[in-house]
Structure 1
Amino acid sequence: MATHQVSALLLALAAISLLAAMAGAAARRLRQPPVIGEVALGILLGPTLLNGLVSDTLFPADIRPFLSALAALGVVLFMFTVGAELNAGLLRGRRMVAGTVAAGSVAVPFGLGALLALYLFNRHPTDNKTGFVLFMGAAVAVTAFPVLARILTDRGLSRTWLGSVALACAAIDDILAWSLLAVVVAICTAGFGSPLLLLFLPYMLLMLTVVRPMLRRLLKEGGASFARPAPMVITLVGLLTSAAFTEWIGLHFIFGAFFFGAIMPRAASAPEDDVTAQVSDRISHLNGRLLLPVFFVVAGLSVDLSKMDVDDLVELVLILVVAVGGKFFGAFTAARLGGVPTRPASALAILMNTRGLTELVILSVGLELGMLDSPLYSSMVVMALITTAMAGPLLQLIYPLPAAPATPAKLQAAWQHQFRGTERVGERELGRTTPAQVE
């Protein structure tokens, strides 16, 4: 790496970090998740603005491979935190309604996305039609767990019935979507006939039966004083090794990072004793300030909205109709069938439409596999941006914030009465609850 490349790379990282912080702050002022501003920044820094003049100036061609490597590391760390934040305890007492809504919010958009792919294939042909159809289905079926959690926290809904069920649905949704994507990756890369891919099941069994108990013991011993580096070192070595292994056997590295995060042990007692949460917080803090903004820029370099024509706009509208309509109809219908009243069922359907950074990760995988060309990739990124941005305002229409929520505690209390009596919805114990109580 030449001296001028080092200088250019460091200056590019400084610019990305500063601009991402400003874009995130601007999004917060608009009452949007920071990821909205950061994704928009990535698009504007790409060829969309001034025909690539900005991107060519800030990110010369000879440093882009290094930016791509840093972006990949950012995705690895992000997928670990997504897995680490999944908590089976979210399902406690709400398995039926969460499972029903999650299944509906994946199955309907997946089916519609697959049908749309058959129509899009003529304009965006790939070497693997089956992989393209399955990928488009998976891409519109995903829900972004981290962004959804942030929206609920910002609105004081995270500890309410609606927030708990939404997070449980998103957790199941994520697992289903990543499983579908794993099938797509296997079809498009090594294929199901690859002998290395047969190592995936032994890998999962080893992680669950050996690595997880070992992590529980090691982190418990090393976590007595978190100032010591042992928990962080153990976690980083484990997740990077896991990511490297799944990449080697023919799956993408995101699956290894995600699965390692999912098996991390969690403390059943006080949050301050949860070493996994502390490690995840530290990783996500640095990752969110530096590496993920690099990923947004690298993703934005492949988005060129300036070249969209009428046919591309028609496709974008179709993608939005399928993505938004499929998610809303699937989640809302499943919630109503599970006994959830209309108002919270609508809120759940809106929240399941949040895609955020998780969608961007999936789209980057599709671009890497050749499932998406540049025009279709650009349309899908815009869809991810729109569906994430609309969640907050639409939720505000259904559950407006109280006029003067003085403190988070008072805001939390203001919501509680609206969901009183709904804890047993979907568990055949709805007896005392009437729609009036929830509405």
Structure 2
Amino acid sequence: MSPAELSVAFFLQMFVIIAACRATGWAMKRFFDQPQVIGEMIAGILLGPSLLGLLSPDIQHFLFPKETKSVLYVGAQLGVGLYMFLVGLGFRTDHFRVNARSAFAVSLSGMAAPFLVAVAMTPWLFGLNLFGPQVSTFQATLFMGAAISITAFPVLARIIQERGLARTPLGSLSLSAGAIDDVGAWTVLAIVLASFGGGPAVAIKAVAGGGLFALFMLTAGPHLLAPLARWAEREGRIVPPLLATIVALFMLSAWAMDTAGLHSVFGGFLLGVAMPRGLLSRELKNQLEPFTLALLVPMFFTFSGLNTQLTLVNSIALVGIALVILIGSILAKGAACWAAARLTGQDNPTALAVGALMNARGLMELIIINIGLQKGIIGPALFSMLVVMALVTTLMASPLFELVYGRRARASGALGSLNEDADEAAERPTVPAI
């Protein structure tokens, strides 16, 4: 496919992707009270081999030829990375400090319990030949632990944002626990990949590189980025050279986390957290959010959907195994996060809400299991079962959250809306003229 043909295919793809995501998102919100992000996730899968490819493979191949997947992949990574940068901009570090004990407890519990389930479940799955032929039981257990313990960080963030809870203690607690949890899961995945020939350097780079970057951004980052806030205050807005500087820093942060062996989303999120608050953060959100949500994030969901084939779970036996994985995953993750939140002083509605949100796996799960499939760690059948688990736990998140916390969420959202200007004014730094 020539560059000109690639360009023509790309524009048609983007029309289909945007139209499908908006229509499905509207339908899910209108008829099922699910957030827009759930509709976008489903739209991505419907455009892939699970539905469109099944009903009309010729049309699916025409819309999404193989040669265009690399373009969609790059756009997908840019979209989810920028989205997590925006999430970081709204992250309240004061809430994190207040909830640090709960965040670490929830995160560690949300990893320990799934790994115990993986230890119990993997030998059985291993005996059913659901893993690659070169995989050991230990490697399979580590991979299953990472897959079950992962949290749908972008989905969790989107639900919190759409419910108006991004600036509340619950929102900060959930985002903090989700971030810690996912870094741990990606680190375990790096260790598994290292055992497949990458060598110990892969795991060391992931742990040390990711930890040092996070430490640098959370300590020195705010001081080094302060001149950007002064620049914005002098101009009274974000001028193009300032925006270009920040976007360049985002690209560098995303590259750093990808190079470390984690994921670009953590680079974007940490940069957003370190950004000075006030005029700079508000204007960044106003300028970047519409484009990111309307164009780039749907590319992320569609690319992942193109790699998902739900039709592989096609027998009673496979359905039964998938149900065992699903139930074990829900009980391990949701129940453990709820218990940890309660034991660290959260009231029951808040703890239940944390458990409901942390239980969602979403597209982060799909990323991990796609890596596992490509590396030969898991077979196509287990891949499909884990896709089912990711879908069901993600679809559960919003209704469960509404059931256990809905009334309080609406009250918190309304209060947050009323107080947003006052909060941001309080956060706005005093910027001396230079």
* Structure 2 length-normalised TM: 0.78
Give the one of 178, 181, 189 matched to 1:176. Answer: 181
| CA displacement at 1:394 relative to structure 2 | 2.5
**Partner amino acid, structure 2, of 1:66:** V
Q: Which runs of 5+ in 2 are unaligned?
A: 419-434
**Structure 2 partner of 1:80:** 85
The answer on 1:317 being equivalent to 2:323 is yes
Give the one of 127, 145, 165 matched to 1:137. Answer: 145
**Structure 2 partner of 1:125:** 132
**Structure 1 partner of 2:65:** 60
The residue matched to 2:200 in structure 1 has which SS?
coil
Is the 2:45–2:305 Cα contact (8 Å) retained in structure 1?
yes
Give the one of 329, 333, 336 matched to 2:339. Answer: 333
Which whole-Å CA distance do the structure 2 matches of 1:203 and 1:399 have between them? 35
The residue matched to 2:201 in structure 1 has which SS?
coil
**Structure 1 partner of 2:22:** 21
Q: Once the two structures are superposed, what CA deviation does each residue of 1:313-335 show, in whole Å capped at 9, x if it has no partner?
A: 22321221122111222123223
**Structure 1 partner of 2:428:** none
Is the 1:223–1:231 Cα contact (8 Å) retained in structure 2?
no
Q: Once the two structures are superposed, what CA deviation does each residue of 1:233-275 show, in whole Å capped at 9, x if it has no partner?
A: 12221222233344445x14526624642552232xxxxx252
* Structure 1 length-normalised TM: 0.78
More divergent stretch after superposition (137-146 vs 312-321): 137-146
Map 1:9-408 → 2, pairs under 5 A: 9-29=10-30, 30-49=32-51, 50-51=53-54, 52-121=57-126, 122-125=129-132, 127-129=134-136, 130-152=138-160, 154-155=162-163, 164-165=169-170, 167-189=172-194, 190-193=198-201, 197=205, 200=209, 207=217, 212-224=222-234, 225-248=236-259, 251-254=261-264, 257-258=267-268, 260-261=270-271, 264-267=274-277, 273-280=278-285, 282-310=287-315, 311-399=317-405, 401=407
Q: Once the two structures are superposed, what CA deviation does each residue of 1:295-329 show, in whole Å capped at 9, x if it has no partner?
A: 22221122112232223322321221122111222
Is the 1:219–1:231 Cα contact (8 Å) retained in structure 2?
no
Is the 2:102–2:344 Cα contact (8 Å) retained in structure 1?
yes
Which whole-Å CA distance do the structure 2 matches of 1:277 and 1:229 have between them? 15
Q: Which runs of 5+ in 1 are unaligned?
A: 268-272, 414-439
More divergent stretch after superposition (29-38 vs 382-391): 382-391
Which whole-Å CA distance do the structure 2 matches of 1:332 and 1:109 have between them? 14
Is the 2:83–2:289 Cα contact (8 Å) retained in structure 1?
yes
**Structure 1 partner of 2:6:** 5
| CA displacement at 1:92 relative to structure 2 | 3.9
Which whole-Å CA distance do the structure 2 matches of 1:191 and 1:48 have between them? 36
Q: Once the two structures are superposed, what CA deviation does each residue of 1:93-118 show, in whole Å capped at 9, x if it has no partner?
A: 33444443333233212332354344
Map 1:404-423 → 2, pairs under 5 A: 409=414
Percent same amino acid at aligned positions? Answer: 30
- Cα 1:258–1:208 shift into 2, 3 Å: same
The residue matched to 1:143 in structure 2 has which SS?
coil
The residue matched to 2:341 in structure 1 has which SS?
helix
Is the 2:337–2:354 Cα contact (8 Å) retained in structure 1?
yes
The residue matched to 1:180 in structure 2 has which SS?
helix
The residue matched to 2:95 in structure 1 has which SS?
helix
Is the 1:79–1:254 Cα contact (8 Å) retained in structure 2?
no
The RMSD of aligned alpha carbons is 3.5
Which whole-Å CA distance do the structure 2 matches of 1:375 and 1:368 have between them? 13
Is the 1:76–1:254 Cα contact (8 Å) retained in structure 2?
yes
Which whole-Å CA distance do the structure 2 matches of 1:236 and 1:85 have between them? 17
**Structure 2 partner of 1:436:** none
Q: Once the two structures are superposed, what CA deviation does each residue of 1:35-59 show, in whole Å capped at 9, x if it has no partner?
A: 2111111111111225234421311
Which whole-Å CA distance do the structure 2 matches of 1:216 and 1:275 have between them? 10
Which whole-Å CA distance do the structure 2 matches of 1:276 and 1:253 have between them? 23
| CA displacement at 1:350 relative to structure 2 | 2.0
More helix by share: 2
Q: How many residues align?
A: 402
